[in-house]
Every structure is written in C-alpha cells, then in structure tokens.
Amino acid sequence: MQRILIIQTAFIGDVILATSVIEKLHNYYPNTQIDFVLRKGNEGLLIHHPYIKNIFIWDKKQKKIKNLFVLIKQIRSRNYDYVINLHRFASSGFITAFSGAKNKIGFDKNPLSFLFTERIKHVITRDTQTVFLHEVQRNQQLIEAITDKEFAKPKLYPSALDYEAVKKYQTIPYVCIAPTSVWFTKQFPIEKWVELCNTIQNDITIYLLGAPSDAEACEWIKNNSSSKKITNLAGKLSFLESAALIRDAAMNYVNDSAPMHIASAMNAPITAIFCSTVPSFGFGPLSDNSKIVETRITLNCRPCGLHGHTSCPEGHFKCAFSIDIKNII
C-alpha cells in the first residue's frame, strides 16, 4: 500500500480547500494511506475525516523550530511514497525537502522547491478580466500526473454528534452571518452588517458565527440591530458544528474568509461579499448556490492586496461602504 502525505500549514481556509486533494486521491487510490500536516489549532477541521489516517500537528507558536525538527523526524520514519506540499513558504518546503519521500511535489513559489522532485507553477492573477484558476484547481495541478484533470470540490465531514449539537438551532428558518475576518479590509463593515440584519425578514432567525475573539463584534451587531431574532453563537461552536449549522441555512452571508470555504465544503448556499480582494485571486465560493457581491464602482486601488490590510491604505474603504445592501439580499 502506498503512503501519501499532504502538507498545508497555513490558515483555516487553506486547509479546507486542501480537502479537495484528499477527495481526489482517495477516489483514485481508495486503499492508499493518506496523512496530513497542519498547524496547531486547525486539527478540528479533519478530526472525523474518513480518508485521513494520521494528522500531524505543528505548533508554530511555542518552540516552533524544535517542533519542526521533531515533526520532520516523525515524517521521515513513515517512508512516504509521495509528499504533496500545498503550502508555498519555506517552513513547509523544509519539511518536504527532508521528508525522505520518494516523490516530493510542490509549487515553484516555495523557496525550497529546487529540492523537490516536481515543481508546479502557481499563478494568482490580479486581472479581473482574465480567465483564472480557483485555488482548488491550482492545488489539484499538483496531483494531475497521478490522477487526472477533473475538478473535485473540498469537503468536510461533521460527525453525528456535531449535527446533534446544532439540532436545537434548526427548528425554525434561519440564516447564518459570519461578519468578521482576520484582515480588516476583507471584512464588510460592522455597520453594514447591522443594516443587513435590519433588512432580513422578521420571521427569519439570524445566527452570528465566529471564533471566541469575534464574540464582541457579533454582540455589537446584535445590540445595534432592530431585529429581535439574532443569536450570537461566536465562540460557542466548533469548526464542524458550525459546518453542520451552515449546511442547512437558508443562506450564509460571509466575507472572503474561512466561513465561506466551510460553506463551500458543505455545498451550502453562500452570498460572499468581497471588499478589498477580488474573486479572480481564485478563492471564491464553490457551492452550487453561490452569489458574489462586490462594489459596482470602479476603484483604481482595488484590489489592494492578496490578503487584505489592517486598515484601508487610501483611508476611505469605498470598496466596502459603496456596496448596496439591496444587492446582497
């Protein structure tokens, strides 16, 4: 039996998008052992994944370098046939290069890709008029030689307990709103979320989702909205419990951030609001029922960066404030 290791030690959304590679490899090689390397804090995404044998967790915050060498030693002992590195930075390149695997595949943007056995070009376009690849397609290019060119979607696997945990919230029609983002300029302004909440029908319950650190922002939205049917669930649900709730929502309103990818992996309905970033970067929603909302005015400053900023570089944040709520509903 072959052994394959997938590496993605970036953010939550990146791990979710990487699950499409798991799906495709399993479909082609159902008896192959597939393991996964991710950063500490993201392991909850794959805890019930039926196609993952082992999860390796790299703690980047405490004793980062020591933990890296311990991780490499563990990986080398497994004698992998393939290491597939979806991460484009030096740390994962180091893991790949010294993994001892027979085949080491990764993107050419990785600084240590010259030590890989195969390098694949990774292109992100800023041109909104150019045909572009989704990040899922870029990831799948790494395994084209051992699978095919057919597209596979990312997928998460909440357990029966995850679905049971959110069952009490699903007795009435509801929508989910994930109002925050790690990056300020990727985040629809908090005042605009209040405006959206006030526009949603009164017979629809609104669940606000996020991490514990998002609870304060979600509470502000709840307290400043005229809607009486808002529940703040930020910090109260795990990744997979959130996924279970998102799956059956009438709609999920999200930023260009991790909750959008969770909804995609559950094939749940999505309205994705893009502020400073653009869909042509290749990180848009993938659900069958997906809608993208952007400003309708031309801004020379947009996009201002791939990951966003802590504040608007121009000081006006028009890419967000110019979006009409009527175009979201």
Position 63 scores a pLDDT of: 93
Domain ranges of the chain: 3-146, 160-327
Instruction: Name the pLDDT band for 262 (thresholds 50, 70, 90).
Output: very high
On whether the CB atoms of residues 266 and 288 are closer than 8 A, the answer is: no
Tell me how far apart the alpha carbons of residues 318 and 302 are, in angstroms, rounded to a whole number.
9
Position 127 scores a pLDDT of: 66
How big is the CA angle at 329 (ends 153 and 136), to the nearest 5 degrees? 15
Position 130 scores a pLDDT of: 64
Identical fold at 3-146 and 160-327? yes
Position 131 scores a pLDDT of: 67
Tell me how far apart the alpha carbons of residues 30 and 188 are, in angstroms, rounded to a whole number.
42
Tens digit of pLDDT for each residue in 191-225?
999 999 999 998 999 999 999 999 999 999 999 99
Q: What is the dihedral of CA 100, 106, 108, 111, to 10 degrees?
A: -50
How big is the CA angle at 112 (ends 106 and 115), to the nearest 5 degrees? 75
Position 238 scores a pLDDT of: 98
Position 10 scores a pLDDT of: 95
What integer is the mean pLDDT of 291-317? Answer: 94
pLDDT at 39 over 80: yes
Residue 195 phi, psi (nearest 5)? -60, -40
What are the tokens at 268?
A: 């749940």
Tens digit of pLDDT for each residue in 98-111?
999 999 999 999 99
pLDDT at 126 over 80: no
pTM score: 0.95
Position 175 scores a pLDDT of: 98
Cα first-last separation, the chain: 51
What are the tokens at 91?
A: 């740390």
What integer is the mean pLDDT of 147-152? Answer: 95
Taking the domain 3-146, which CATH number applies? 3.40.50.2000
Tens digit of pLDDT for each residue in 71-95?
999 999 999 999 999 999 999 999 9
Burial of 170 (0-12, 13-18, 19+ CB in 10 A): middle
Position 1 scores a pLDDT of: 62
Strand partners, 6: 36, 84
Instruction: Name the pLDDT band for 125 (thresholds 50, 70, 90).
Output: confident
Q: What percent of the chain has pLDDT over 90?
A: 93
| Separation in Å, CA 22 to CA 32, 139, 167, 199 | 11, 11, 28, 40
Position 306 scores a pLDDT of: 87
Q: Residue 124 half-sphere exposure, CB side, CA atoms within 13 Å?
A: 18
pLDDT at 129 over 70: no
160-327 CATH, one of 3.40.50.11270, 3.40.50.2000, 3.40.50.300, 1.10.10.10? 3.40.50.2000
For 212-220, which contacts have Cβ atoms below 8 Å and span 24 or more sequence positions?
214/179, 214/180, 217/179, 217/180, 217/190, 218/179, 218/180, 220/190
On whether the CB atoms of residues 37 and 67 are closer than 8 A, the answer is: no
Q: Starting from the edge strand earliest in sequence, which strands make up the sheet with 118-120, in order?
A: 54-58, 33-39, 3-7, 82-85, 103-107, 118-120
| Separation in Å, CA 72 to CA 56, 57, 79, 227 | 10, 11, 12, 52
How big is the CA angle at 210 (ends 281 and 251), to the nearest 5 degrees? 70
Q: Which helix (H) or strand (E) holds 5?
A: strand 3-7
Kindly report the average pLDDT of the chain as a whole number: 95
How big is the CA angle at 39 (ends 48 and 238), to the nearest 5 degrees? 45
Residue tagged 């279970």 (tokens): 244
Instruction: Name the pLDDT band for 132 (thresholds 50, 70, 90).
Output: confident
**DSSP labels, 27-57:** HH-TTSEEEEEEETT-GGGSTT-TT-SEEEE
pLDDT at 128 over 70: no
